[in-house]
Amino acid sequence: MSAPSKKIRALIVDDEELARHVVRELLQSHPEVEILAECANGFEAAKAFAEHQPDLIFLDVQMPKLTGFDVLELIGTDVSVIFTTAYDQYAMRAFEVHAVDYLLKPIGRERFEAALERVKSRLGAKMTSPHELAATARPPQQFLERLVVKDGTKVTLIPVSKLDYAEAQDDYVALATQGKKHLKQQTIAALETGLNPDSFVRIHRSYIVNLERVVRIEPYGKDSRLAILTDGTRLPVSRAGYARLKALLDERK
């Protein structure tokens, strides 16, 4: 007699109670899937993930405060995700490419079964980085409106308009906003791709600045310059960074 297969430990995340109920009902014929918790928002999902470390998450994309993309950034990569969403087809194609599955609402049983089988076959395989997934799923010309930062159990949402500058620190970026700095696990190159280039410019290999905060550019030694921000912060500007910065500032005159 063969040993029983290992249970698949799952979370259901959706701000609509009816939607959670539908997934729960569809899972009744799957005793191999154990529902660890149901979450009504992204904050609950991040907390439940930390507590239970599930294998699988049924994740809604469009939720208030924290979206499904935000939740993905917070929980890391070692989990399989089935999106339950009414999101646009462009995003759905991106999800398929990145080895996660999706279910468009209203969810049909046949499609649900196919998604579950697909995820079962891929459990244990390395998932795509949530930063890459979220960036690829974003439609063209749609830039970040806020940044999500996790510090232990605390989650901070930073509106991009409030970001003064970002500084590279190895595989992290320090996000400077309203007199504080928040450390986010993300490379500065990945952050740059999500920011609107009309508002943010890479002035140095280690710095991205919000153009609204730049008061002036000052010379600093031979062939070096500093960007002076509204709060007095002085940031180094490389030669290539100066060309980019000057071009954008000239456009605004």
CATH number at residue 106: 3.40.50.2300
Structure tokens, 12: 């259901």
Kindly state the tokens that stand for 156: 């901070």
152 and 187 fall within a common domain: yes
Are 57 and 45 in contact by the 8 Å Cβ rule? The answer is yes
Q: Does an H or E element contain 67, and which?
A: none
Please determine, for residue 158, whether its predicted confidence score (pLDDT) is greater than 50: yes
Q: Positive or negative, the Cα torsion across 191, 193, 196, 202?
A: positive
Return the pLDDT at 87: 67
* Cα–Cα distance, 14 to 19 (Å, whole number): 7
* 27 in a structural domain: yes
Confirm whether 106 is domain-assigned: yes
Is the same domain home to 163 and 66?
no
CA distances from 189 to 114, 118, 141, 169 (A): 36, 32, 17, 12
Examine the pLDDT at 233 and tell me if it is beyond 70.
Answer: yes
Q: pLDDT at residue 88 above 90?
A: no
Judged against a pLDDT cut of 50, whether residue 74 lies above it is answered with yes
How high is the pLDDT of residue 190?
Answer: 87
What phi, psi does 77 have (nearest 5°)? -110, -20
Q: Residue 168 maps to which CATH number?
A: 2.40.50.1020
Number of folded domains that form the chain: 2
Same domain, 161 and 207: yes
Residue 129 shares a structural domain with residue 12: yes
Is the pTM here over 0.75, yes or no? no
Reported as a pLDDT band with limits 50, 70 and 90, residue 154 is confident
Does the structure show a pLDDT above 50 at 144? Answer: yes
pLDDT at 101: 77
